[in-house]
């Protein structure tokens, strides 16, 4: 809530720096979704968000509207992410740097094609659990790989929607787009992802 953010900011500025942790806890996922949208790499995104919090803290006294901390912080994250992207000047890293990428591609394809359940069953043995964990990790890796193939704005919309659970309106405010533009981007991105994931994960995703 905006009023809550205003209170946090005012308390930090009034001499309670520990209150900043509330803002870190509340907005690190949002920052992560934005940074991932730009960078397509969780490790880089984490560094960027950490740095953005530090910068936000340093500049907090200059925040004119404390209630709008969220938008201000989002702007810092986005600018930092773009800076990092420019500095790197290397092809996008695949999201496979996650631990999720433990299983190699070939094995993942086989597992993905043979096991479709996405849930833990109470009767499964430890071996089943390990297998399930590997399958889930592989599937998550493939999902991220597909998402990383989207263009930057589409990837950010998907991240904000599916990582942070934001509404169209919230995404529109953050990205300075119209609600219809957000919906359009989301729809287009999902259409692309549907095709890719249906093939990669052998999911039954009817043509829509």
Binding site residues, another protein, CB under 8 A = 1, 3-4, 7, 15, 17-18, 20-21, 24-25, 28-29, 31-33, 36, 42-43, 45-46, 49-51, 53-54, 57-58, 98-100, 118-122, 136-137, 139-140, 143-144, 147, 158-159, 161-163, 165, 167-168, 183, 186-187, 190, 193-194, 197, 201, 203-206, 208
The least CB distance from residue 37 to another protein, in Å, is: 11
Nearer to another protein among residue 4 and residue 128 (C-beta): 4
Nearer to another protein among residue 114 and residue 165 (C-beta): 165
Phi, psi of 188 (to 5 degrees): -65, -45
Residues written for the chain = 208
Nearer to another protein among residue 21 and residue 107 (C-beta): 21
Distance of alpha carbon 8 from its chain centroid, rounded?
Answer: 24
Cα dihedral angle (189, 146, 198, 184), rounded to 10 degrees?
0
Nearer to another protein among residue 3 and residue 125 (C-beta): 3
Cα dihedral angle (62, 66, 166, 132), rounded to 10 degrees?
70
Q: Let me know: does 37 contact 74? Beta carbons within 8 Å.
A: no
Helix (H, G, I), strand (E, B) or coil at 173: helix
The least CB distance from residue 206 to another protein, in Å, is: 4
Q: Let me know: does 150 contact 189? Beta carbons within 8 Å.
A: yes
Instruction: Give the DSSP per-residue string, 36-66.
Output: HHHH--HHHHHHHHHHHHHHHHHTGGG-S-G
Q: Let me know: does 148 contact 155? Beta carbons within 8 Å.
A: yes
Nearer to another protein among residue 17 and residue 110 (C-beta): 17
The least CB distance from residue 89 to another protein, in Å, is: 19
The least CB distance from residue 143 to another protein, in Å, is: 3
The least CB distance from residue 57 to another protein, in Å, is: 6
- Which region holds residue 89: left if phi is over 0, alpha if psi is between -120 and 50, else beta? left
Nearer to another protein among residue 173 and residue 183 (C-beta): 183
The least CB distance from residue 190 to another protein, in Å, is: 6
């Amino acid at each position: 809530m905006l009023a809550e953010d205003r209170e946090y900011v005012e308390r930090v500025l009034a001499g309670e720096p520990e209150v900043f942790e509330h803002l870190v806890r509340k907005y690190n996922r949002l920052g992560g979704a934005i940074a991932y949208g730009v960078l397509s790499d969780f490790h880089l995104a984490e560094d960027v968000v950490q740095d953005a919090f530090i910068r936000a803290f340093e500049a907090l006294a200059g925040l004119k509207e404390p209630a709008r901390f969220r938008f201000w912080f989002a702007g810092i994250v986005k600018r930092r992410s773009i800076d990092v992207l420019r500095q790197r000047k290397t092809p996008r890293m695949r999201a496979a740097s996650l631990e999720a990428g433990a299983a190699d591609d070939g094995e993942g394809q086989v597992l993905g094609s043979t096991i479709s359940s996405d849930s833990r069953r109470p009767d499964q043995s430890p071996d089943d659990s390990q297998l399930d964990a590997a399958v889930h990790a592989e599937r998550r890796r493939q999902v991220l790989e597909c998402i990383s193939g989207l263009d930057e704005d589409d990837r950010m919309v998907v991240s904000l929607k599916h990582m942070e659970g934001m509404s169209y309106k919230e995404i529109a405010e953050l990205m300075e787009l119209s609600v219809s533009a957000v919906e359009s981007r989301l729809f287009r991105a999902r259409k692309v992802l549907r095709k890719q994931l249906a093939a990669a994960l052998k999911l039954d995703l009817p043509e829509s």
